[in-house]
Amino acid sequence: MNRIFYFDSVKGNYRCDAAVFSCFDHRFDLVLREFLRKNDIAAPDIIKIAGGAKSLVSPDSEVERQFAFEQVRKSMRLHGTDRVILMVHSDCGAYGGLAAFKGDAAAEAEHHHREVLRAAQILSENIAGLDVRAYFADFEGVWEVAA
């Protein structure tokens, strides 16, 4: 093998601050990093799936939901995770984008509010012992979603 660059990384196992479900939409990478930094989540297990928390509440197939559950279980087993952050975002292609809501950002936000709360409920019902938090990101910020 030919090393293409050099870096030092922490070796050994670590304890995860939170498993984080986010969409793989690159437009929200910076906001996710800033959100994690501002919430003192330095060691996340980031689970990037199209639609983020959508994989739990309205997956394209049951296999997708089971995959999401298994990712959380592995994070718990391997890294001691006891907190999960669920995130959905505006104009998400997995939901059909803002166009699916006829450009109505308020209707989209309300829909995503219900979706991410239900995702939190489904996760809590299927995997005990987790502190699950739900969030919605748009192009202006991140909003905590509460019942």
- CATH code of 49's domain: 3.40.1050.10
The pTM of this model reads 0.91
* pLDDT at site 81: 96
d(CA 45, CA 127): 17
d(CA 48, CA 30): 14
Q: Is 12 a member of any domain?
A: no
Q: Is 7 a member of any domain?
A: no
Instruction: Give which of 40, 128, 126, 22 is closest to 82, Cα–Cα.
Output: 128
Q: Is 117 a member of any domain?
A: yes
* pLDDT at site 110: 97
Say if CB 85 and CB 41 are below 8 A apart. yes
* pLDDT at site 7: 81
Task: Give the residue numbers spanning the domain of 46.
Answer: 18-145
Q: Is 37 a member of any domain?
A: yes
Report the number of distinct structural domains present in the chain: 1
* pLDDT at site 47: 97
Q: Is 71 a member of any domain?
A: yes
pLDDT means per 10 residues, the chain with 147 residues, are 84 91 96 96 96 95 97 97 97 97 97 97 96 96 90
* pLDDT at site 88: 97
